[in-house]
């Protein structure tokens, strides 16, 4: 019988592949909202995290709110404001990106097997998903030109780091406090990014970060 945690991890990997193959910014935001919700729910279904304290459940609810609603909500507003719907000319094409994504899964499985990390409950699938998500976020950050897509890459990397922490942690409360602090920093960063995107779009009528290279001192 498939466990709920395994199903959630599979959905996380699926969201990673979908994000690598999507050129629509609004679809990317929705995928990240879905991924944020799924990633936030995973610790609830891991046996090594039970019994959970009231504090841990509280922090999980806050993370679900930030990852699944607040951050995607700000991104949604930013995409609506700049009125750019697609990443037209990525540095690496979408079909090639999907091949990279599948390669990340294989590499993550190889690394997890070779490192022989002593994981709680031997949850190797969690570590494979974590490394895949982290690598895919870094890839998205480096292979796309639009600032909004690069921010989504940062968010995906953060989800991967969160899953690595979840895989390695036996104590839950401390890890969630640290993650909560990181999320608050990210939330502030997303708000600032929205302002910067608006200003870039007003000046250049685009949000291609390559245009920033044209800036020079007068």
Q: What pLDDT is attached to residue 1?
A: 47
Q: What pLDDT is attached to residue 192?
A: 67
Q: What is the pTM of this model?
A: 0.81
Q: What pLDDT is attached to residue 96?
A: 93
Q: What pLDDT is attached to residue 199?
A: 66
Q: What pLDDT is attached to residue 218?
A: 45
Name the maximum alpha-carbon separation found in the chain.
Answer: 66
Q: What pLDDT is attached to residue 8?
A: 92
User: Mean pLDDT for each 10-residue chunk of the chain (218 residues)?
Assistant: 81 94 89 92 78 76 85 84 74 91 93 70 80 92 83 87 78 59 67 67 65 56
Q: What pLDDT is attached to residue 43?
A: 83
Distance linking the first and last C-alpha atoms of the chain: 66
62 burial level (CB within 10 Å; 0-12, 13-18, 19+): middle
Domain layout of the chain by residue ranges: 4-216
Q: 187-196 contacts: CB < 8 A, separation 24 or more?
A: 187/66, 187/70, 187/71, 187/74, 189/154, 190/71, 190/74, 190/75, 190/151, 191/74, 193/78, 193/147, 193/151, 194/74, 194/77, 194/78, 194/81, 196/147
Nearest partner of 11 among 37, 47, 38, judged by Cα: 38
């Amino acid at each position: 019988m498939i466990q709920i945690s395994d199903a959630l991890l599979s959905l996380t990997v699926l969201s990673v592949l979908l994000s690598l193959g999507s050129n629509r910014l609004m679809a990317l935001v929705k995928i990240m909202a879905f991924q944020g919700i799924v990633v936030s729910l995973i610790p609830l279904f891991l046996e090594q995290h039970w019994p959970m304290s009231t504090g841990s459940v509280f922090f999980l609810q806050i993370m679900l709110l930030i990852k699944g609603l607040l951050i995607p909500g700000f991104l949604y507003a930013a995409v609506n404001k700049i009125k750019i719907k697609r990443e037209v000319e990525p540095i690496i094409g979408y079909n090639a990106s999907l091949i990279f994504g599948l390669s990340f899964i294989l590499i993550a499985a190889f690394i997890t097997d070779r490192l022989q990390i002593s994981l709680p409950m031997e949850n190797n699938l969690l570590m494979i998903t974590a490394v895949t998500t982290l690598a895919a976020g870094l890839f998205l950050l480096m292979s796309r030109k639009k600032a909004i897509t690069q921010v989504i890459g940062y968010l995906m990397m953060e989800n991967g780091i969160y899953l690595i922490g979840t895989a390695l942690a036996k104590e839950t409360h401390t890890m969630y406090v640290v993650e909560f602090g990181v999320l608050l920093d990210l939330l502030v960063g997303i708000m600032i990014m929205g302002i910067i995107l608006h200003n870039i779009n007003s000046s250049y009528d685009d949000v291609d970060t390559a245009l920033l290279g044209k800036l020079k001192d007068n």
